[in-house]
């Protein structure tokens, strides 16, 4: 069986998007694991199904699977990638409402150059659940950014933060696991962050992770809005108004193709 896809990345957080009518009806987690494998599949941080049928209140619906087959509520970078695909197919449209597992997200197209897009995305109401937590023996901030986030303020990254992220993801206080970020303050409007994402491991960037990190930094007095989040893939910008966050960042189309699904996979 052939599964068509479009590959995109949002700040080097890469996704494969398949239209819902082209996807199998069953075994979706197993297919996600196969198609996202970087050696025997196409390779990506996640596989997304998109239903681009407009309905009352939104323009499209997405369903996302991580590379380990788990299904998160939301990906900020992934949702921007879905909006880029919609923008490619609807060149006159500049605003998009996309239904996600964390509700309807509104995205505004800021600019386009070739296959590169810049969007502002309303990340919704971001909640600080615990300002001064202790997780895995470390000082942390617990955030609800539409998905679970655990943010650690750090002085530098000269420690095994990947192992710390992996252990935190599965800490017993997070029954559904958690996304993890490590925040290094730079100045009043800039933080540098490393990410360990639930179901994907280390990623070059994260939209919801950047949002959670920025909110955590603001809540701790480490930074103030607007906040530039320096990721290994480049900057993302968060504007915070009360509990609401707006994320500005890129999405880029990479390729169209087809994945050959076999029983062996």
Residue burial 154-173, b: 16+ Cβ < 10 Å; e: rest: beeeeeebeebbebbbeeee
Residue range(s) occupied by CATH 3.10.310.10 in the chain: 2-123+250-260, 127-242
Question: Is the model's pLDDT at 170 over the cut of 70?
Answer: yes
pLDDT value for 263: 67
Beta bridge partners of 193: 183
Mean pLDDT of the chain: 96
Q: What is the mean pLDDT of residues 49-75?
A: 96
Q: What is the pTM of this model?
A: 0.88
In sequence order, what are the beta bridge partners of 100?
103
Q: Which of 56, 51, 78, 81 is nearest to 65 (CA)?
A: 78
Confidence of residue 244 (pLDDT cuts 50, 70, 90): confident
Which of 247, 193, 196 is closest to 76 using CA atoms?
247
DSSP letter for 143, please: E
What is residue 243's predicted lDDT score, i.e. its pLDDT? Answer: 72
Q: How do beta strands 227-231 and 190-197 pair?
A: parallel
Predicted confidence (pLDDT) at residue 264 exceeds the cutoff of 60: no
pLDDT in tens, 175-214: 999 999 999 999 999 999 999 999 999 999 999 999 999 9
- Topology annotation, domain 127-242: Diaminopimelate Epimerase; Chain A, domain 1 (3.10.310)
Tell me, rounded to whole angstroms, the distance of Cα 2 from its chain centroid: 27
- The CATH number of 2-123+250-260 is 3.10.310.10
Asked if residue 231 has pLDDT above 50, the reply is yes
The model's pLDDT over 89-123, given as tens digits with 9 standing for 90+, comes to 999 999 999 999 999 999 999 999 999 999 999 99
């Amino acid at each position: 069986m052939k599964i068509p896809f479009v590959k995109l990345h949002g700040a080097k957080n890469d996704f494969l998007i398949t239209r819902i009518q082209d996807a199998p009806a069953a075994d979706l987690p197993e297919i996600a694991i196969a198609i996202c494998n970087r050696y025997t599949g196409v390779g990506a941080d996640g596989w997304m199904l998109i239903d681009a049928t407009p309905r009352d209140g939104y323009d499209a619906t997405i369903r996302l699977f991580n590379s380990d087959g788990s299904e998160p509520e939301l990906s900020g970078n992934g949702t921007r990638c879905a909006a880029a695909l919609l923008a490619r197919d609807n060149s006159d449209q500049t605003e998009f409402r996309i239904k996600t597992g964390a509700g309807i997200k509104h995205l505004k197209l800021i600019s386009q150059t070739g296959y590169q897009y810049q969007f502002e995305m309303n990340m919704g109401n971001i909640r600080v659940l615990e300002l001064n937590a202790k997780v895995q023996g470390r000082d942390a901030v617990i955030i609800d950014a539409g998905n679970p986030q655990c943010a650690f303020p750090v002085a530098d990254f000269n420690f095994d933060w990947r192992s710390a992220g992996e252990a935190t993801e599965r800490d017993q206080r997070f029954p559904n696991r958690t996304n993890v970020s490590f925040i290094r303050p730079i100045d009043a409007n800039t933080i540098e962050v490393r990410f360990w994402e639930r179901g994907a491991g280390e990623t070059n960037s994260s939209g919801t992770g950047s949002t959670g990190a920025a909110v955590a930094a603001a809540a701790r007095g480490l930074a103030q809005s607007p906040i530039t989040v320096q990721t290994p893939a480049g900057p993302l910008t968060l504007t915070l108004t009360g509990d609401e966050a707006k994320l500005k960042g890129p999405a880029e189309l990479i390729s169209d193709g087809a994945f050959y699904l076999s029983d062996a996979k």
